[in-house]
Chains A and B, each alone.
Chain A
């Protein structure tokens, strides 16, 4: 497997590069950009992130644990407080809500760490510092015989520089 890197200046060029590559049948594409860009995301068309699922799970766990904790404690050792019922649901809603937010947030960030950082930690030989500045990088992974075609496509879609990165 070889990687062909094309460096571009604007997100619009990047989008057009991606589209031309896809029409040419290249599927294993990776794009580096200094900013998130919807055009690029749409072009790559990877669908929505799985993270939203974990946010939901976190929130559900949070709210149910919140209520359970309070109600169980209320009956674990029942004490009359201010003449109120042992388990005062309205009062308990607040902590239920807070835990819902807390665990929702934690799950979201942890899943980002996992999907965004851990799973994508390898195969960035083509990366270069400029990508955090003002450069966009479009990387095509392909077999030897396709390399030339990929370079050609990238060149034509306005890359300032195209080179092959050996892995």
Chain B
């Protein structure tokens, strides 16, 4: 062998070392300074805001997204948008999590049928994916079918063009599980138009909802809630809810009627006839039908006393602007269309049409498919009439298991292409997955309501190898040799919006909002001759009636993968991470069911195993299950790998599969309320993951209420006026227990104090907050906002189950059973009260928490050693402890959603609400540059700006003109656990009980 001399040796060694080094460079290099050539609109450390549209649910609210260094980190309502108006709902606040979901499709996938019959997917390149698509289309000329979601904008038209190019023009369905078929048909029956009008909740002084979840999912829930709170300022307004559940919407009304399930329609029409009798102005055509259904005549079947209906009818008749809301899906039975008609008739006789029910600016729902169409499609698929099924932004396998589309896809007869951006039931079966961008990566526009045209623009470069579906379809068309307009989705969008200039202007605004002239409608011919029957309920009448209802957090399940939404306690049951069978405690006892029992609930539709959860906010003889769960599990504890497992019940079950496929013949809508359910108790005890172990506030004055009658007698500072001042000595005389918070200052022996004093004498600020419990609906938007703003971690079900959730603000739900045996639900948002004499501060050995010169109760996690004494000593239990290093296990790219202005806490330290100190300091910097002090309203803490009900007021207590200083002095104001003399900086306003006329 040849001599290797020293030099050669060194060369070889050096070379191999270098080679090794080069091979080792797998990780892409991350630059510490993000920009070499910095784009001028992006300044590191300074947030940039863009207007776009939230596509989380079909409501399509206009939002304003805060981006830092090119990363969207926070979503707020667009102040100019007619739907959001600076506020945002719990779903919208966390919408970004869908984009940052690390389990999304990284690129195209191809189905592989394993020998054992199971289905799996393998990654393919876009070229291969496109070839597969084009081949499939070529092989099935004119047999392509596009099954999409609710599309109302330019993309909608473009998809039609593409379908035409495939020779399959019009072969398309826009499917939503909540498609308002019944309402459209109902309008047709009464007004002869299928339009869905505006229901002006904000102008209604008497509101009657017939199982309408108008605060959760119905039409435009965010706008509904904003209007609803406007209508109820300072004790005005009155609302009645007719339905089997005291859900989120119902809990915020003043009166709850729970007729026998299915007979709600009779209540509606009976109210109409009672109102008509009082006003005497009912249209001639309706007289006949109205005479048929009097309160007395329906009392028997509905179980509602005639006197009750007459009282309500009286209210409506005397109201200046009454409004009846058409039924929501939870009471949508085999009579759905006529039920809606009955409600519209009530609106007619109450004189609401044209006043609070306004046609013209209609909801853009005309093109939405009926459930019936979907089952027909399934038939076509089985019959081989569909060759290629293109599924986009909808998940029939989860939300419509009755029609058997999933089986048809699984059979493989139909070549199915899924454009889902994250795995779901349908994409799990698809032959080909061509992932779409998520809404925040994509261009688009929507028109949810006529005249409301909104643009949607990308907030960041697509995180993964995804493509806009429209582009994909157009490329396919071109590959097929068809002629489609040139350019990408963006170009076509720009063209549709009238060129660059107007496009950019609209982008800046967020869209175009034109007012649409109201149109008048007359009664349809047949309106007078409808007869109203209760929904037909299958099954054994002795069994509880099955009520399936939409999820406030997860909508129809499309958000089930957003862990933060799973972890926020449900507004009604306060359960997290799972689905529960809700029953009234008495019903449960009758059936021998206890909390946590695993039940087998079965109908002709199917059967599920589910955990029992008895609570009082539901009608007797009813078993209610929320939809949205039971979707593709995404291991919730993955971030904390190896730290415990979670049980079967965690992700819950898909309640859709319990609904028998029965339809309402007139509207083609799915009859949700159509069966009794047989309930078998397995006696297996499952864990119940809940945030509250009791809804009884033990008479401790957390959520306080005052009757309308007593309101004028109330003295400032929430101390009791004559009403209770008279009660108290009597109570003492009778030896009754009197709670410490009751009575006036002398009785309480509370030292008088001024919260504004709890700051440095020279400080111009003492930050404080006031929360109006009358406005608070308990919708959880504040929690969601806090999570995104303050980098609150998701802790996973195993930790939540033992009470380790990390929310800085929680909405406490208290249920009071009034003397009239009515269920009175109160919502008390609880957060750090930033006490002037904070018990947490004096016990911390390390001085990790102290009182700032601006009156903030400051927490310094870096100084915290985790003795946790502060949490023990906080009577409000506002402090949360990091049992694990939660945020360290957040997988990329979910870490991109973290707010760089807020530190990420590690294990072993305490944390709590900071009053969004990062925002306070930001505003102070601005003010300092302009050499002034921060004015009122300049600082909006995350929860306050999100709150759709404007329940939260934040500001400077030292400025007597500030909103918060003013609102604290109104009589309804009080402070929780005031008698402990913690000097809290957060005051609450009593909720107002409108129902009881004293």
Residues of A near any B CB (own CB < 8 A): 79-84
Is B497's CB within 8 Å of the partner chain A? no
Q: List 14 A-B contacts (CB under 8 A).
A: A79-B850, A80-B850, A80-B851, A81-B841, A81-B842, A81-B851, A82-B837, A82-B840, A82-B842, A82-B843, A83-B851, A83-B983, A84-B837, A84-B842
The residue of chain A having its C-beta at the shortest distance from the C-beta of B840 within the complex is A82
Is B838's CB within 8 Å of the partner chain A? yes
Question: Which of chain A's residues have a CB closer than 8 A to the CB of B836?
Answer: 83
The residue of chain A having its C-beta at the shortest distance from the C-beta of B852 within the complex is A80
Question: Which of chain B's residues have a CB closer than 8 A to the CB of A82?
Answer: 837-843, 851
Is B479's CB within 8 Å of the partner chain A? no
The answer to whether B847 touches A79 (Cβ under 8 A) is yes
A80 to B983: give the CA distance in the assembly, Å.
14
A82 to B838: give the CA distance in the assembly, Å.
5
B985 CB to closest chain A CB (Å) equals 12
Question: Which of chain A's residues have a CB closer than 8 A to the CB of B843?
Answer: 82
Interface residues on B, range: 10 to 19
A79 to B839: give the CA distance in the assembly, Å.
15
Is B758's CB within 8 Å of the partner chain A? yes
- What 10 pairs across the A-B complex have the smallest Cβ distances? A82-B842, A83-B837, A80-B851, A82-B841, A79-B850, A81-B841, A81-B850, A83-B836, A81-B842, A82-B838
The answer to whether B758 touches A83 (Cβ under 8 A) is yes
A79 to B840: give the CA distance in the assembly, Å.
14
A83 to B849: give the CA distance in the assembly, Å.
12
The residue of chain B having its C-beta at the shortest distance from the C-beta of A83 within the complex is B837
Question: Which of chain B's residues have a CB closer than 8 A to the CB of A83?
Answer: 758, 835-838, 851, 983
Question: Which of chain B's residues have a CB closer than 8 A to the CB of A81?
Answer: 841-842, 847, 850-851
Question: Which of chain B's residues have a CB closer than 8 A to the CB of A79?
Answer: 847, 850-851
A79 to B846: give the CA distance in the assembly, Å.
13
The residue of chain B having its C-beta at the shortest distance from the C-beta of A81 within the complex is B841
Given contacts A80-B850, A83-B851, 12 further A-B contacts (CB under 8 A): A79-B850, A80-B851, A81-B841, A81-B842, A81-B851, A82-B837, A82-B839, A82-B840, A82-B843, A83-B835, A83-B836, A84-B842
A1 CB to closest chain B CB (Å) equals 61
A92 to B840: give the CA distance in the assembly, Å.
18
A84 to B851: give the CA distance in the assembly, Å.
10
Residues of B near any A CB (own CB < 8 A): 758, 835-843, 847, 850-851, 983
A82 to B983: give the CA distance in the assembly, Å.
10
B874 CB to closest chain A CB (Å) equals 12
The residue of chain A having its C-beta at the shortest distance from the C-beta of B839 within the complex is A82
The residue of chain B having its C-beta at the shortest distance from the C-beta of A88 within the complex is B842
Question: Which of chain A's residues have a CB closer than 8 A to the CB of B842?
Answer: 81-82, 84
Question: Which of chain B's residues have a CB closer than 8 A to the CB of A84?
Answer: 837, 842
| A79, A82, A83, A84 pick with most chain B CB within 10 angstroms | A82
A39 to B625: give the CA distance in the assembly, Å.
91
A82 to B874: give the CA distance in the assembly, Å.
12
Question: Which of chain A's residues have a CB closer than 8 A to the CB of B850?
Answer: 79-81
The residue of chain A having its C-beta at the shortest distance from the C-beta of B982 within the complex is A83
The residue of chain B having its C-beta at the shortest distance from the C-beta of A79 within the complex is B850
| B835, B841, B843 pick with most chain A CB within 10 angstroms | B841
Question: Which of chain B's residues have a CB closer than 8 A to the CB of A80?
Answer: 841, 850-851
Question: Which of chain A's residues have a CB closer than 8 A to the CB of B837?
Answer: 82-84
A83 to B840: give the CA distance in the assembly, Å.
11
A12 CB to closest chain B CB (Å) equals 57
A2 to B835: give the CA distance in the assembly, Å.
81
The residue of chain A having its C-beta at the shortest distance from the C-beta of B835 within the complex is A83
The residue of chain B having its C-beta at the shortest distance from the C-beta of A80 within the complex is B851
A81 to B843: give the CA distance in the assembly, Å.
9
B800 CB to closest chain A CB (Å) equals 31
A100 to B836: give the CA distance in the assembly, Å.
34
The residue of chain A having its C-beta at the shortest distance from the C-beta of B873 within the complex is A82
Question: Which of chain A's residues have a CB closer than 8 A to the CB of B840?
Answer: 82
A47 to B653: give the CA distance in the assembly, Å.
90
A84 CB to closest chain B CB (Å) equals 6
A82 to B843: give the CA distance in the assembly, Å.
9
The residue of chain B having its C-beta at the shortest distance from the C-beta of A73 within the complex is B847
A115 to B758: give the CA distance in the assembly, Å.
57
Question: Which of chain A's residues have a CB closer than 8 A to the CB of B983?
Answer: 83
A79 to B850: give the CA distance in the assembly, Å.
7
A81 to B758: give the CA distance in the assembly, Å.
11
The residue of chain B having its C-beta at the shortest distance from the C-beta of A82 within the complex is B842
The residue of chain A having its C-beta at the shortest distance from the C-beta of B851 within the complex is A80
A79 to B983: give the CA distance in the assembly, Å.
18
A84 to B983: give the CA distance in the assembly, Å.
13
A79 to B851: give the CA distance in the assembly, Å.
7
The residue of chain A having its C-beta at the shortest distance from the C-beta of B758 within the complex is A83
A79 to B857: give the CA distance in the assembly, Å.
12
Question: Which of chain A's residues have a CB closer than 8 A to the CB of B839?
Answer: 82
B926 CB to closest chain A CB (Å) equals 27
Question: Which of chain A's residues have a CB closer than 8 A to the CB of B838?
Answer: 82-83
A79 CB to closest chain B CB (Å) equals 5
Question: Which of chain A's residues have a CB closer than 8 A to the CB of B758?
Answer: 83
A158 CB to closest chain B CB (Å) equals 64
The residue of chain A having its C-beta at the shortest distance from the C-beta of B760 within the complex is A80
A80 to B839: give the CA distance in the assembly, Å.
12
A84 to B981: give the CA distance in the assembly, Å.
13
Question: Which of chain A's residues have a CB closer than 8 A to the CB of B847?
Answer: 79, 81
B647 CB to closest chain A CB (Å) equals 42
A105 to B371: give the CA distance in the assembly, Å.
87
A72 to B851: give the CA distance in the assembly, Å.
19
| B835, B842, B843, B983 pick with most chain A CB within 10 angstroms | B842
A79 to B847: give the CA distance in the assembly, Å.
9
A92 CB to closest chain B CB (Å) equals 13
The residue of chain B having its C-beta at the shortest distance from the C-beta of A91 within the complex is B842
A80 to B847: give the CA distance in the assembly, Å.
10
B871 CB to closest chain A CB (Å) equals 15
B550 CB to closest chain A CB (Å) equals 47
A80 to B763: give the CA distance in the assembly, Å.
14
A7 to B569: give the CA distance in the assembly, Å.
87
The residue of chain B having its C-beta at the shortest distance from the C-beta of A84 within the complex is B842
The residue of chain B having its C-beta at the shortest distance from the C-beta of A77 within the complex is B847
A81 to B860: give the CA distance in the assembly, Å.
14
A82 to B857: give the CA distance in the assembly, Å.
9
A81 to B835: give the CA distance in the assembly, Å.
11
A84 to B838: give the CA distance in the assembly, Å.
10
B809 CB to closest chain A CB (Å) equals 23
A47 to B336: give the CA distance in the assembly, Å.
109
Question: Which of chain A's residues have a CB closer than 8 A to the CB of B851?
Answer: 79-83
Question: Which of chain A's residues have a CB closer than 8 A to the CB of B841?
Answer: 80-82
The residue of chain A having its C-beta at the shortest distance from the C-beta of B838 within the complex is A82
A7 to B837: give the CA distance in the assembly, Å.
73
A82 to B847: give the CA distance in the assembly, Å.
11
B848 CB to closest chain A CB (Å) equals 11
A22 to B839: give the CA distance in the assembly, Å.
70
A134 to B835: give the CA distance in the assembly, Å.
70
The residue of chain A having its C-beta at the shortest distance from the C-beta of B855 within the complex is A80
A161 CB to closest chain B CB (Å) equals 63
B843 CB to closest chain A CB (Å) equals 8
A74 CB to closest chain B CB (Å) equals 11
A30 CB to closest chain B CB (Å) equals 52
A83 to B753: give the CA distance in the assembly, Å.
13
A120 to B779: give the CA distance in the assembly, Å.
83
A89 CB to closest chain B CB (Å) equals 15
The residue of chain A having its C-beta at the shortest distance from the C-beta of B983 within the complex is A83
The residue of chain A having its C-beta at the shortest distance from the C-beta of B858 within the complex is A79
A128 CB to closest chain B CB (Å) equals 55
Question: Which of chain A's residues have a CB closer than 8 A to the CB of B835?
Answer: 83
A107 CB to closest chain B CB (Å) equals 28
A83 to B842: give the CA distance in the assembly, Å.
8
B447 CB to closest chain A CB (Å) equals 55
A84 to B841: give the CA distance in the assembly, Å.
10
A163 to B840: give the CA distance in the assembly, Å.
75
A94 CB to closest chain B CB (Å) equals 13
A106 CB to closest chain B CB (Å) equals 24
A83 to B983: give the CA distance in the assembly, Å.
9
The residue of chain A having its C-beta at the shortest distance from the C-beta of B836 within the complex is A83
A146 to B758: give the CA distance in the assembly, Å.
86
